[in-house]
Amino acid sequence: MDNLVLKALRERRSIRRFKAEQIRNEELTAVLEAGTWAPTGKGLQDPWIVAVQNPELMHRISEMNRKVWGTDTDPFYGAPTYVLVFCSRPEKWPNGICDGSLVLGNMMLAAHAIGLGSCWINREREMFDTPEGKAMMQEMGLPEGLMGVGALALGYPASFPPSVKPRKENYYRIIR
């Protein structure tokens, strides 16, 4: 069985080298809208999506991520756009992290479908639990009580992974 969606699922890869050129507004909007169509528990649409293209804010986000990761390299791989996803803390909504993860997955597939590259970036939970991170969330106009789920590095791919890892044996089971 094959169709465009299944093909996109098989072909999407994490991109870790981006062209400096900024993506077009209609491409960004398409990716962000795809995130809003992810399923969410009880249809609450709990996640919050923030696209960042402001160089000064991007630098601050990258520095926070580097600090948490303990690296000197760019954790966003030179992407011209960052997309951050936040959700309610588990005490308020236990499905928030799952909902936010589905939003990120939808956006990665949408990016691939329109010729953009993306890479899921971790450490947002730790970053935005710091006083600096909480102040930044407030600066971005987010309500209190949220936590970071993850982020995307988003842009035009400068290169593609040379190979694909084979899927592990017994990855799934069918029990009848």
Residue 104, beta-bridge partner list: none
Q: Is 85 helix (H, G, I), strand (E, B) or coil?
A: strand
Residue 118, beta-bridge partner list: 14, 154
For 19-61, the pLDDT digits (tens) are 999 999 999 999 999 999 999 999 999 999 999 999 999 999 9
**Domains along the chain?**
23-155 (3.40.109.10)
Residue 81, beta-bridge partner list: 154
- pLDDT class for 73, splitting at 50, 70, 90? very high
* Distances in whole angstroms, Cα of residue 130 to Cα of each of 87, 101, 125, 133: 16, 21, 9, 5
Tell me how far apart the alpha carbons of residues 160 and 13 are, in angstroms, rounded to a whole number: 8
Say yes or no to pLDDT of 164 above 90. Answer: no
- Can you give the pLDDT at residue 109? 97
- Global pTM value: 0.96
Nearest CA among 73, 80, 72, 122 for reference residue 97: 122
Q: Looking at 34-48, 109-123, 156-170, which range is the least confident one?
A: 156-170
What is the rounded average pLDDT for all residues in the chain? 96
- pLDDT class for 165, splitting at 50, 70, 90? confident
Q: Is 47 helix (H, G, I), strand (E, B) or coil?
A: coil
Say yes or no to pLDDT of 160 above 90. Answer: no
- Report whether 102 contacts 126 (CB < 8 A): no
CA 155 to chain centre: 12
Nearest CA among 2, 5, 18 for reference residue 156: 18
